[in-house]
Chain A
Amino acid sequence: MSARLARRDHRAAWLFLVPIILVMLLVALWPLARTFFFAFTDAYLDNPSAYSMIGFDNFIEVIQDHNWWVAVKNTLVFTVISVAIETVLGIAIALLVNEAIPGRGLARAAILVPWAIPVVVSTKIWEWMLNDQFGVINKLLIELGLVDHGIAWTANSSLIMGTVIFVDVWMTTPFMVLLILAGLQLISPEIFEAAEVDGIPAWKRFWSITLPMLRPAIGVAVLFRVLDALRMFDLAYVMAASNENVMTVSIYARDRLISFQELGVGSAASTWVFLLVALVAIIIIGVLRLDRAAGH
């Protein structure tokens, strides 16, 4: 292609990109830049134009706040445990649904349901099922004789994190299953047949063939889920807005920003969230070597 034609193509490409660039400047870059900017000011939300620059004071205030570190701990505990369970469950269900058994089409459709329900709705449904007096789960446990009175799953401060993780696993395992299933279907069945003919036991086929070949799919799924879990807001907010045992960094930042109207401190907290998520993303991409695993 001649240089003139190439130049014409490049110009056309940028013309097609004008809408997305404008929108991203407006709703991503500009707000992000303003958040970073406000983090260095003492502004309040009721009058954002009255501020003075105060350097790193807000950042220091956030990391000296005990509640911030509670939120960081909650977020990391939630992320690690829920994504770990979801990955194991996701692999197991994907392998099961990939088998040629009756009803697997129905199962594939059914696992989409928890994923499509709004988080708020799932939270409310589980809140009702886990209700200490009238919840169906407690009634079942009592009838089975496992407990003699209902357990306050969502009110007990030592149980609430487990409950939140449980509900999150229910909601997001389907996403894991879909991505891993897609990865499974890219593997050609001949490899398994050859291994089976050679008499390699099933667990070893899984460990040394399936798992390594699924690594790119699992890697992408884990990356998406981790980044999603790190910003978790709605589940914990709806289930236990004021319970500090499940307060996540997103809830902390929003509280400072909106509830306490502290535009400066809230922005600094948001910036810390940004740095936390960026750090985790870099670590995961590095550890999993996603760029190389994807074969590009």
Chain B
Amino acid sequence: MTDATMQGSGIQRPQRKSSSYYRMRRRCVRGLQIVALLFVLFYTLFPYYWAFVSSTKQGGALYHSALLPAFDFTYYRQLIDNPVFMRSLLNSVYVATTTTFLSLIIGLSAAYALGRIDFPQRRAMLMIVLMVSIFPQVVVLSGMFELINWLGLFNRPSALVLTYLLSTVPFTTWILTTFIREFPRELEEAAIIDGCSHFRILMKILLPLMGPSLASTGILAFILAWNEFLFALTFTLTDENRTVPVAIGLIAGTSRFEYPFGQIMAASVTVTLPLIIVVLLFQRRIVAGLTAGAVKG
């Protein structure tokens, strides 16, 4: 109400219709907006809610569309007792954290050069980094296959760390460059005048300020690595070396006619719950990271 009257008084418009007409109209618009927002929330969240509901139903109940969860966690206990699934969870954690860690180090180093030092090939380097981050993974598949065989990494989770660098390193470099440019240059001026080396400037002045930027970039790289499918499917052969997306992608029933949707939903909830918690906790930082590279870059 106060909001509406404030807006009304702020606009010096010739009043052709009565003010109550405008108030009514504004209320209707507001109402429609809230309905639309609720619809958007339902559309984005219901599938995940339904996955949770389905994962807590047993046997025949799974096939009844009761909207409330049954809170029977048998499928989750089965997952915990399943060494193959736990192993793939562990593989995913290992691959995603190692990839994130390496990408942040390499990306930070490159981002300092690209964001802070003026050198003639700077723009060209930035374009190359951007181009590498958008080319389709399938294009490097044969060459990568040979490289991994040559390094003796085939069917090892470490092979995935190496191949994921293809997409995460350009990505972290691009975002960290944008973040570094946002820090005022005055911060380092005294250090430059004192003849401080670039390495010291990065480590002693910028790094302590970059915690939040590194966190948001790191989360994005982690999600990218955690969710990757094509390389993980191609470069691991045996169950105990798979990552969770591949493990879930390949779960099938014992026969063509039985489909273990209860287990699949439990596994789905398990692998995404940590991601969703991180996303909700660091929502602002993630948005900052996603949009930093795209809009301001």
A interface, over-half SS: helix
Interface stretch among A80-88, A112-120, A155-163? A112-120
Q: Is the interface of B mostly helix, strand, loop or mixed?
A: helix
A50 to chain B, nearest CB (A): 13
Q: Which of A7-40 contact B (CB under 8 A)?
A: 9-10, 12-14, 16-20, 23-24, 26-28, 30-35, 38
Give the interface segment out of A62-70, A204-212, A220-228. Answer: A220-228
Out of B33, B120, B259, B279, which one reaches A96, CB within 8 Å?
A: B33
Residues from chain A with a CB closer than 8 A to the CB of B44 are 110-111, 113-114, 170, 174
- Please report the C-alpha to C-alpha distance between residue A139 and residue B134 in the assembled complex, in whole angstroms: 40
Known: A119-B227, A128-B261. A108 touches B287 (CB 8 A): yes
How many of B's residues come within 8 Å of A, CB to CB? 96
Contact assessment for A125 and B268 in the assembled complex, using a CB-CB cutoff below 8 Å: yes
Among the stretches B71-79, B183-191, B209-217, B269-277, the one at the interface with A is B269-277
- Contacts known (A124-B268, A174-B44); A224 close to B134, Cβ less than 8 A: yes
> A125-B268, A254-B138, A257-B141 are known contacts. Are A116 and B223 too (CB-CB below 8 A)?
yes
* Separation of A17 and B119 alpha carbons in the complex (Å): 12
Contact A34-B141, Cβ < 8 Å, known A121-B271, A134-B63, A178-B291: no
CB pair A267–B48 under 8 Å, yes or no, is no
In the complex the two chains form, what is the Cα distance from A174 to B47 in whole Å? 15
> Of B41, B51, B113, B166, which is within 8 A of A16 by CB?
B113
Using an 8 Å CB-CB cutoff, how does the interface string of A114-148 with B read, 1 for contact, 0 for none?
A: 10111111111110110101101001100000000
CA distance A48 to B280 in the complex (A): 47
Q: CB-CB < 8 A to A165: which residues of B?
A: none
Residues of the B chain whose Cβ atoms lie less than 8 Å from the Cβ of A102: 34
- Once A19-B105, A103-B37, A120-B248 are accepted as A-B contacts, the answer to whether A179 and B290 lie under 8 Å apart by CB is yes
B135 within 8 A of A: yes
Known: A35-B141, A107-B37, A179-B295. A136 touches B283 (CB 8 A): no
A140 contacts which chain B residues (CB < 8 A)? 65
Residues of chain A with a CB closer than 8 A to B24's CB: none
CB–CB B112/A134 < 8 A: no
Residue of B nearest to A103 (CB): B37
Distance of B31 from chain A, by nearest CB (Å): 10
Report the 5 A-B pairs with minimum CB-CB distance, sorted nearest first: A31-B143, A34-B143, A231-B136, A182-B291, A16-B113
A residues lining the B interface (CB < 8 Å)? 9-10, 12-14, 16-20, 23-24, 26-28, 30-35, 38, 45, 48, 93, 96-97, 99-104, 106-114, 116-126, 128-129, 131, 133-134, 136, 139-140, 170, 174-175, 178-179, 181-183, 186, 196-197, 199, 216-217, 220-221, 224, 227, 230-231, 233-234, 237-238, 249-250, 253-254, 257-258, 263, 266-267, 270-271, 273-274, 277, 281
A–B Cβ pairs within 8 angstroms, 11 of them: A16-B113, A19-B105, A20-B173, A97-B37, A114-B47, A131-B261, A233-B138, A238-B229, A266-B141, A273-B136, A277-B136
